[in-house]
Structure formats: C-alpha cells, structure tokens
Amino acid sequence: MTTTASLPADFEWGFATAAYQIEGAVDEGGRGPSIWDTFCHLQPTRTKGADGDVACDHYHRYEEDLDLLARYGAKAYRFSLSWSRIIPLGGRDDPINEEGVAFYNRLIDALLARGITPWVTLYHWDLPQALHDRYGGWLDVEESQKDFERYARVCYERFGDRVKNWITLNEPWIISIFGYATGGNAPGRSSINKDATKGDTAREPWIVGKALILSHAAAVAAYNQSFRPSQGGQIGISLNGDYYEPWDAASELDRAAAERRMEFHIGWFANPIFLAQDYPACMRQQLGDRLPPFSERELALLREARPDFYGMNYYTAQYARHREQPPSETDYVGNVDELQENREGTSIGAASGVHWLRSSPHSFRKHLARVYRLYGRPIYVTENGCPCPGEDQMSRDEAVRDDYRVRYYDDHLEAVAQAVAHDSAVVAGYFAWSLLDNLEWSDGYGVRFGVTFTDYDTLERTPKKSALELKKQIEKRLDSEHTVADLLRR
C-alpha cells in the first residue's frame, strides 16, 4: 500500500487492556468485589459461564506481559486501575488498600524501567459492589461524583509523580446503555430484558449518563486544581461510537437519521464534556424531562473541566435508516434502524469474527474528521481492533496467523494518516485493542481481540503476527519533520 507519511514524529502508540478482563486475583491483595464479579457469578449465567476470577492472571504475570510490550516495540501502554483493589469499599470515607496501591506502583515502575509510557484509565466498568449496594452506584448522581472524585485524588496522589496521561472513564455510553437499558452488562438492570434485574430502561440510562459526566468533570477539576501545577500531566476521557452512513444516500431523512444516531451515541457525552453545553437538541426533543438537566453550577464545573484530549474507541460503522413511527419510551438510539448493509445491499465492510463488527476504515477517516471538527481536541485512538473470522474456533497455530487483523490495523492506520494529511484532523496516538486475548465481558472467553494468543488452560501467551507488524505499520507512516504541536498550529 502506498501512502503519504503523515503521522507526527511524536505519535504515541501501543496496546490497551482493562483490569477486570486480565488481572484475575479477585480475592487477593485486599481487593474488594466489583459489580462485574457479582454479574459474572449470577445464575443462570449472563456471561456464558465465564468470570474474571483468574482471567489472564496478569496480577501474577505482569512482568511477562510487559516483556511482550517491549518485544512488540510499544511506546505506551494503556491499562485501567481496579477501583475496588485500591479502595475495596469504594467510598470517600472508606480505607485505602495499600496492597493494591503497591501492585500498581510495581506495574508503573516496571513499565518505566522498560521505557514504556503508562496511560492510566481510572474507571473501566468495574464499580465497587459496595457502592452499588450502598446507594445504587451510578444511579445516585451526587454521591457517585463525590466518591469518584476521592478515588481519582488517591490515584493522582499515589501515581501522578510518574503517570502523566490520565483517562477518567472508558465508554460511558456502554456503561449507561448496556448496564441500565438492555441489562447485558453489569449491573444488569433493565425493564425490557426478562433475564435482567428489574430497572427502568426509559429513565435510568439518562440518570447514569449524567452521573458519569459530572463524575468525570469532578475528577478533571480536582486534577486541575490540586495536581496539574506540580505533576504537569494531561487528562481526557474515552468515548465509544460507531460512524453512521445513511442507509439511502439520496434520502434527506436517512442522512438526518445518521447524524441523529451519532448525536445519541457521541454527542450525549461529548457536548457537555467538551463544549460545556447541554445535550444535543435532538435528544432533548425526543426524551423530554427524562433527560436530566444541568444546573448553572454543573455547567460551571463542566467549563472548568474541559479535557486536554479526546479518547476515541472505534471498531466499526453502520448504516442508519429513519423510522416512520414515533420512538418508543425505551428507545435509546434516536429512532433509527441500524443496519450493516445499505439500500443497494452493499456491506459497510468485511465481516470479522464477531457479528457486530465489520471493517470500515473509510468510515473511520470520516469519523476522525467529524469528531475533531466538532470538538477541537487532539484525538488519541484509545481502542481499535477486531477478532478474525472464525478465530474463536482456531487452534493456537492457526490463530497466530491473523492476517485479517494485520489488514484491519493497516487499513485503519491508513485512515488515520489520511485524516491527518487531508482532513486537518489532529490525531496524536493509537492504542490497539488488545494486548491479550481476554475475558470479553458478556461474551466470555470465546471472542478473541488480542494480538497475543492466550491459552486459557495453561495461561501461556503466544504472539500473533499482528503483534509484530503494528510497529512497522506505524513507522512507515511517520513524518520526521512534523510533531503534534505542528499539527495544532496548522
């Protein structure tokens, strides 16, 4: 593939993971239970019988895993902290677990010893179970903010002398919708899913969304006030979101539906967080008073807490088709149909190893350009990856020849390069998901996203072809004459 080198010389890149998906050791080192521990052990099973009790045993094998990062040439590593490993009961007046702090200190020091930059996510879905039991967790907007701010402050205090890159929350849309609308993720609340805990799909996701937005803002404000002057780091948030194309490109209604779907997916969080303004107008129009308003005090907090960067988690794209009928009270997508083929029967991209993901790099380029145009912050792609077709049924020797994943990465890195070179987007880094095959949440241990094959019986790690190709794919696109600062001055 020919390309114009257009990634800045100081482009950050590496691999990403999440604590509950890889750490294991759930009852070791003083760790308390999280909502995912509870959810994974529900009967009948919600996770295909899988749990994170052992996972990849990263808690005991982290040195081996960091050696893999060094072997792959990674400049950076994005990982999350387990809130309940640091504060087992989670609350602002609850004791700190020094064993948990010591574990993450060892991990951070081991990364720096290998010349790898730590990127720390404070929250990747694993709320301490004690907070859910105490006041409903994210359903209590005021209490959750206070406890999350205290947790964030502890992390800045204990790790901020070495950690200079912070992500507050990972994918608040997933937390809100899958946790409190569909019930497919922890804590599994829903009023439309017969297997879920009783909830209120029409109202709870929007309450949780506000709690997450304001908890993020409280954590950023705390960093700005008390830690940025001495630590000199940067802080952002990782938002997921597909790119949507109109199902019928000639239809004004479908073009509006595609934009509306992205407002419900991304604007829900990005408009308050990055622009310090209310939710998108289309959400207000559809949801009415079910979408909780922001007070003047809360808007002032959002203005004070604008992030340094936009963390983008992108995997796929879809087509959006408008619906003729009015939205139901439990609709959370903006009254659209989401489809993988358009009116002409053209697929949005090549099928992968999981039903919801098709490779659509041309849409990724549009997505990068749109997000940067709307929100104006440097973008770090904090997750991007795929499982190969049939990979969940392959032997180790078959799975390590992951040519589909190699192509996926190359095509998506080319989309980044083109967005930088031709669309004026500022993209400063890229993290491939994931370092290891791991617990894929409610999909259990079937779907494999890793660049490293994990044998779940022996826990042996084996590098796949893609693990060793990513560095080459990035380096061939680096522009030695320009930096991220140069892009920002364009």
Cis ω for the linkage preceding 44 (within 30 of 0) = yes
484, 8 in Cβ contact below 8 A?
Answer: yes
Pairwise CA distance, residues 241 & 262, whole Å: 7
Q: Which two tokens stand for residue 226?
A: 């008390």
Q: Phi-psi region for residue 459, left (φ > 0), alpha (ψ -120 to 50) or beta?
A: left
438, 21 in Cβ contact below 8 A?
Answer: yes
Helix (H, G, I), strand (E, B) or coil at 223: helix
Q: Which residues are catalytic?
A: 171, 383
For 159, 241, 275, 281, 385, the CA distances from 381, given in Å and listed in that order, are 23, 12, 20, 27, 11
Cis ω for the linkage preceding 434 (within 30 of 0) = yes
Q: Which two tokens stand for residue 56?
A: 């990849």
| Residue 264 DSSP symbol | I
220, 156 in Cβ contact below 8 A?
Answer: no
Pairwise CA distance, residues 55 & 456, whole Å: 8
| 229: number of Cβ within 10 Å | 8
Give the distance, in angstroms, between the CA of residue 451 and the centroid of all CA atoms in the same chain: 17
Q: For residue 258, which of 400, 398, 179, 363 has the smallest C-alpha distance?
A: 363
Pairwise CA distance, residues 470 & 209, whole Å: 35
Q: For residue 245, which of 234, 235, 256, 237 has the smallest C-alpha distance?
A: 256
Dihedral over Cα of 267, 269, 271, 274: its sign: negative
For 94, 150, 157, 212, 397, the CA distances from 301, given in Å and listed in that order, are 25, 16, 22, 13, 53
Q: Strand (E) positions, 293-367?
A: 309-313, 317-322, 336-339, 350-351, 358-359
Residue that has been written with the tokens 């994931």 in this structure = 434
**Residue 216 CB contacts under 8 Å (≥ 6 apart), including other chains:** 168, 169, 172, 237, 273, 305
- The Cβ-side half-sphere exposure at 271, using a 13 Å CA radius, reads 18
CA 350-352-356 angle, to 5 degrees, is: 95
